Structure 1
Amino acid sequence: MKKKTPRPAKFWPTLGFAALAGSRATSAPAFLSQYLSHQALSPALAKSPLRFFARPGVTIALELLVAGEIVGDKMPSAPDRTVPQQLATRTASGALVGATLYKAKGGNALVGALVGGLGTVAATYATWWLRTQASQQFNLDSGLVGAGEDALVLAAGTALAKAQGPTTAQ
């Protein structure tokens, strides 16, 4: 009897990245890019247009975008994350990350995009509600709560990227 090779986890890590995108749209692509840029690409991802995420230059550019988003989020003129344009941007970010992670782990990119996009929509509303409640319940400035949210996103993204196994196990 041939021993089955375990399938790499895709669903839960994709939801983790989707949660990041729901909080900070650029964080999920940045952390996924950071992870992929240190991996030997799976054959499926190496042949895909999504392989651009593995380029170190893309990682650097995305990290700069994260820094800009963190600063911009504290501006009084920053739009609410649930307005259509912001929600669409976050959803696209989560879908792209989901498709890429699924492809990297030997799965179907369309399924990954659906998991990532839908997870991001849920996380967007959940993080908006949590931030609003924390500000109101503890009478805290929204910017201060946002700084705490930034710290959580950065810590969670780092841990999530480090927890991913190699992409070549297909």
Structure 2
Amino acid sequence: MLASFLIGLAAGARALTPFAAVSDAAAKGALPADNGAPSWLGHPLVSAGTKALAAGELWGDKLHSAPDRIVPAGLLARVITAGIAGAALAPRNRALAGGVLGATAAIVAAYVTFDLRMAALKRFGQTPTGLVEDALTVAAARAVVGGVERRAV
């Protein structure tokens, strides 16, 4: 259940990157056999689509017109993606709890990372802070999913 919580924290910063990492692992068959992932999550088209959407989110975040992550649409995206990813990383019999844990962590992390980003933005600017946040989120998502993959072997 720790993985569900941690992937939710990562989703607080970027809604789609952690979701794409979990979908990619599902497509590769790298999630534990007794996972709570919906069957469609590992479909090659879903995996490719989530990666494309995550790349678009990483790019779009640097635009001045990008909405804040704490607007209702941004929070809803985090609830959905972190909920599915959290469920996928939980054992099948605890998928609902994993989903709730992931979604809840994402909401809390969205507010925390928003405040941190706004403080850093004043000093370093939008693009540099966004790139650092991107790197941290990608690394966190990969680490969480990689830890689950290692346990599956």
- Asked if residue 154 in structure 1 is aligned to residue 138 in structure 2, the reply is yes
- Asked if residue 42 in structure 1 is aligned to residue 33 in structure 2, the reply is yes
**Highest CA radius of gyration, 1 or 2?**
1
Counterparts of residues 75-94 of structure 1 (less than 5 Å): 75-94=63-82
Which SS does the other structure have where 2:68 is aligned?
coil
Instruction: Kindly tell me the number of residue pairs found equivalent between the two proteins.
Output: 152
Instruction: Indicate the residue corresponding to 2:62 in structure 1.
Output: 74
Instruction: Indicate the residue corresponding to 1:134 in structure 2.
Output: 120
TM-aligned CA distance change 1:113 to 1:44, over 3 Å: closer
Q: 5+ residue gaps in structure 2?
A: none
From the two aligned structures, give the one with the greater helix fraction.
2
Instruction: Indicate the residue corresponding to 2:97 in structure 1.
Output: 111
- TM-score normalised per structure 2: 0.88
Contact preservation (8 Å) 1:26, 1:93: yes
Instruction: Indicate the residue corresponding to 2:83 in structure 1.
Output: 95
Distance 2:35 2:40 in 1: 13
Q: 5+ residue gaps in structure 1?
A: 1-10
Instruction: Tell me the CA shift for residue 44 of structure 1.
Output: 6.4
Aligned-residue CA RMSD (Å): 2.1
Contact preservation (8 Å) 1:42, 1:167: no
Letter in 2 for 1:160: V
Instruction: Indicate the residue corresponding to 2:51 in structure 1.
Output: 63
TM-aligned CA distance change 1:69 to 1:134, over 3 Å: same
Deviations 1:104-152 (Å, cap 9, x if unpaired)? x23322211210111110110111111112223xx21122101110111
TM-aligned CA distance change 1:168 to 1:150, over 3 Å: closer
